[in-house]
Amino acid sequence: MITAQDFSLPPRGLPLRVLLSGMAVGVLLLLSQHRSWDELAGLLPSEPALWLRSGVSMIILIMALLFALSTGLAVGMLARRMGSPAVSFTAFLGRAVACCPVVALAWGFIGGWIGHLGWPVETLMPEHLAAAQDHWQATLGSALWGVLAPALVLAVPLCGEVVHAVASDARLTVDLEFSLRARGVPPGVRLYRHHLRQMLPLLRVRMQALCLVAPAYLMVVEDVFHVAGWGGSLAEAIRTGGVNAIAQGFATGGVMIALLCVGCQMLPGRLRRVNGVLPALAWHPWLLWTLGFLALPSADSFAALIVWVVVLIVGSSSWHRTWANLESQLPLDPSRALGASETTIWRTHVAVVQFRTLVAWLCAALAQTLLWMAVACALQPRLISELDPRLAGLFKPLSVQTTREAAQTLADPSALLQAGGIIALAALCLIQVSRIVQPRPR
């Protein structure tokens, strides 16, 4: 996976942890800016309009996640049925799609749909004269398209993630293919009953991981589509540096993510919950919080470093699990039994594997840093000026600051798509290098 290269298990009580941590981070942000207790008390919005905004965002998120889940499963299952090469190819495609910067996807869609085809996107349309003969279908269709358009765009990178997950997590299941075939079980039953039953608990964990990331993507999508939702207002608050609104966004975002995580528990099957510091630390919407904290002026100079550290934190649990799996399969105890010294054991059996794992982690972290910097720069164009000029040139087209720039991008999104394509390609290459370098447990 792009967000978590390898599989990791969530801690116990994930929804509650996310809910509380969202509020805690909001309070922390307000305290860091020396805000009054009254402002702290207003962390959770009391106005129904703000909850209504969150409701709109929740609908978009649920639609996008469900669409990604079902499409990912459908594609993954079809690929599995077609054989191993198809699975590998599909997984690669999934990774490629997941590597696309969401801002480029959103502007690409708008540029094609509105700019090229001249078809409407409800949330972006100017006021129009309602025809006297407008019937309920038109009203319903317009309202539905207002939600579906951003949901479908948001679903694209999530689909990529799920497709990759369905393909790569299959190796974590018990391969019953031979025994089921021997018992004369039809292929469809083997796939959709036996294999899917094993996959669903894994997908539940993957979907929970996606729930932590999707709201950050949603911010960009809502901002580009001008959706009057939680993400759009948080993106605006981040752009303008409105600390109170950002803190409120963290708190309401925590509630939303907690609800989504609870919703994911409706998927059948359950994996063992884990204890420990790393899962407890990693399973939080760190990247969402980071985007918020980058709105503070003091964070400008270290934006890339902060994102990189956060990416390391987010991936720490899965990489630790990967290393634990690898370490358990290394012949350490037999070597000790044969009298090899610890230094010899480390040099002979551990060092190379450890080094390759570290390189893989760094490559994956670098790819994710690149993608998250694209998100951060899209939301806060001022960060670009702090980057290396070559990187700044790459990220510049992604930041559509003014309405005039937006109009130019709509008319000709080629510069933005080019920049998005280069970033996606770079991230995909790094991910592939990471996968090549990383040792696999047998």
Partner 1 sequence: MILARTLIFGFPLLVAALAWWSAGESRRSHARGKDGIVVMLSQDKPALNPYLPETEAERELLELVHEPLIRIGPDGALVPTLAELWRWTQDVTCWFADEAEAKRALEQLQAQIGETNRWAEWHLTSADVVAASLRLSFSDLSPAGVQGALEVIAERDLQPAVLCRVDSRTPLRSAWDKFVASTTMADQIHRVWFDGTSVCELVVSGKVAPRLMEDLRRHLDKDADGSATVKPLAEVGVLVEPVLDLDIRPGQLWSDGTPVTAGDAKATLEFLRGQDWPIPAHEALRQIQSLESLNNGSRLRVVFRRSYGPALCALADLPVLPGAWLRDHSDGIVAGFSENPPPGAGTHRISAQTGRSLVLTPVHEGGASPRFLFSFSVSPLMTEIGTSTQTVDLVWPASAARHSALRQLRFTPPRQRLVVLWNTRHEILQNVRLREALACATDTEDLIRSLPGRLGRVDASLFAPGLWYSTRAARSPFELASGRGILEEEGWSLDGAGVARRQDRPFELTLLVPGGDELHTKAAQRLVAQWAALGARVKIEIVADASAFAQRLREHRFDAALVDQRFEVSWDQLPWWHSSQAKPGGTNFCGVIDPQVDLLLEALSREFEPAHVPSRVRELEAKLLQLHPMLTLFTTHDEAAAMQTLADGATAAAASATWTLRQLAVPPKRAPAAPVIHLQMRVTE
- State the residues that interact with partner 1 by CB under 8 A: 63, 66-67, 70-71, 73-74, 77, 114-115, 118-120, 122, 124-129, 131-132, 134, 137-142, 144-145, 148-149, 152, 188-189, 192-193, 196, 402-404, 406-407, 410-411
Alpha carbon of 170 to those of 121, 166, 401: distances in Å?
38, 6, 43
Distance CA 103, CA 133 (A): 37
> What one-character-per-residue DSSP string does 318-345 give?
HHHHHHHHHHHHS-HHHHHHTT--HHHH
Min dist. Cβ of residue 108 to partner 1 (A): 15
| Tokens describing residue 142 | 């317009």
What minimum distance in Å lies between the beta carbon of 141 and partner 1? Answer: 2
Decide if 377 contacts 398 (C-beta within 8 A): yes
**CA dist 293 → 30, 127, 234, 282, 307 (Å):** 11, 35, 12, 17, 10
CB of 211 to partner 1, least distance (A): 18
- Whose Cβ is closer to partner 1: residue 196's or residue 220's? 196
Nearer to partner 1, 277 or 411 (CB): 411
Q: Please state the closest distance from residue 145 (CB atom) to partner 1, in A.
A: 4
Q: Which is nearer to partner 1, 352 or 407 (CB)?
A: 407
Tally of CB atoms within 10 A around 437:
17
Q: How far apart are CA 109 and CA 122, in angstroms?
A: 13
Is the separation of the CB atoms in 165 and 318 below 8 Å? no
In the complex with partner 1, the residue whose CB is nearer, 152 or 278, is: 152
Which residue, 10 or 146, is less far from partner 1 as judged by CB?
146
| Residues contacting residue 422 through CB under 8 Å, at least 6 positions apart | 394
308's tokens:
């990189």
The residue among 225 and 372 lying less far from partner 1, judged by its C-beta, is 225
**Comparison of 73 and 311: residue with beta carbon closer to partner 1:** 73
Q: CB neighbours of 4 closer than 8 A, spacing ≥ 6?
A: 209, 314, 315, 317, 318
Shortest distance in whole angstroms from residue 224 CB to partner 1 = 11
**Least distance between partner 1 and beta carbon 233 (Å):** 18
One-letter amino acid of 102: V
Q: How far is the CB of 197 from partner 1 (least distance, A)?
A: 9
